[in-house]
Structure 1
Amino acid sequence: MSQLLNKAKNFVSEKVNDVAKPEASVTNVDFQRVTKDSVEYLANVSVHNPYSTPIPICEINYSFKSATREIASGRIPDPGSLKAKDMTMVNVPVKVPYSILMSLAKDIGADWDIDYQLDIGLVIDLPAIGNFTIPLSHKGEVKLPNPASMFA
């Protein structure tokens, strides 16, 4: 009996692994604006839904790191749905407090930018499977606003 159950579990597991799943990639991370207490960046995530029905996005989790140190993190609950059989652009706003930017002064240096790693977990609700997390990681370099733009 237990062999039959194990075979059934393996069969279901293989079939679930063969099912097409949405795919995502970070297409851009760019400066958005300066507020009184932080610098805001906007990450654009492109997500392809292979299904003929829209899929709800449960939440988005993100972690923004520089020099292996987390400088911002957050959770965006219920950001919408993925379009059926289409590409959906999802925006992930990232706020970095000034106090943390000042502690990264040696990385900023003369070129006035920071090297970063953005880790995103896009949690979607797949029919018959349940919650599924699409993990994304993107490395790059993002410019800081120049001091003149902060006081303009």
Structure 2
Amino acid sequence: MLLYKQKKNQPAKGGNRLLISITVLGSAGPIRFVVSEEEIVAAVIDTALKSYAREGRLPVLGSDLNNFLLYCSNAPSGALSPWDTIGSHGSRNFMLCKKPETEKVAADAARLSPTTIGRRGSGSWKSWLNKSLNLKDLLAL
């Protein structure tokens, strides 16, 4: 008797798979790959970034998925939550964008505390002024 193995690209029992298309803002064309309907948005962003880098596309994006937002192409709503499932949105076309710089700067500023920011000089401007005036007085003598 001949035994047949299930092919890897066939869907597993109990879960639907979707062919999704992700357009990266500033890139030439979309990235297409197959995901499970129950896949979370954060994992889809990670897969898209890895595929993008593997293909050697430009512009270079990086690999930190926390710097990106995924939008549904045909819905006017905001960015998708990283914990939503990709199949819950009823769309197969998405857009991947970098987070705006203002959000990143605010997050970085919240992380930094005043103790981690060093001082530029070794004194205040008043002490510098007093030193420079004292030097002029000495040179005048």
| TM-score normalised over the length of structure 1 | 0.28
Structure (1 or 2) with the greater strand fraction: 1
Structure (1 or 2) with the greater helix fraction: 2
